């Protein structure tokens, strides 16, 4: 059974940092990604990583501030959030699947974790 369990969210001031973790179990997928959903908005792609070689991709708003990485030995995917802004406030979701920025490429999702950035 595939499980994705997020951790590391919380409340942080603008300009601060957080590290989100996604512990994956059950099987390995070709891509892992982070999406986020703010209140009243669609769930949007943030970043993705190819498990085999660590190749990464980001949405424009994440480039230069967020970093996705993985620890293959531990089966964990990370999202390092730096220079956070109030607009980054959202529930962040870990996802596993075949890749790309589209939600329908991911078959498995974590339960989501809240990130709140205060001004």
Which pLDDT tens digit goes with each residue over 70-81? Answer: 999 999 999 999
What distance in Å separates the CA atoms of residue 75 and residue 25, rounded to the nearest whole number? 7
What distance in Å separates the CA atoms of residue 46 and residue 36, rounded to the nearest whole number? 7
Name the pLDDT band for 88 (thresholds 50, 70, 90): very high
**Token pair for residue 87?**
């607009």
Which pLDDT tens digit goes with each residue over 24-67? Answer: 999 999 999 999 999 999 999 999 999 999 999 999 999 999 99
Residue 48 and residue 62 in contact, taking contact as beta carbons nearer than 8 Å: no
pLDDT > 70: what percent of the chain? 100
What distance in Å separates the CA atoms of residue 63 and residue 74, rounded to the nearest whole number? 26
**Token pair for residue 65?**
């501030």
Look over the chain and give the mean of its residue pLDDT values, rounded to a whole number. Answer: 96
């Amino acid at each position: 059974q595939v499980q994705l369990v997020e951790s590391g969210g919380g409340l942080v001031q603008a300009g601060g940092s957080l590290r989100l973790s996604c512990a994956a179990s059950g099987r390995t997928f070709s891509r892992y990604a982070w999406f986020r959903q703010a209140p009243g908005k669609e769930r949007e792609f943030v970043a993705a990583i190819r498990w085999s070689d660590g190749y990464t991709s980001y949405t424009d708003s994440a480039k230069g501030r967020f970093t996705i990485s993985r620890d293959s030995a531990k089966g964990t995917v990370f999202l390092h959030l730096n220079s956070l802004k109030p607009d980054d406030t959202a529930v962040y979701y870990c996802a596993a699947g075949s890749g790309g920025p589209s939600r329908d490429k991911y078959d498995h999702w974590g339960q989501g974790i809240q990130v709140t950035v205060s001004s």
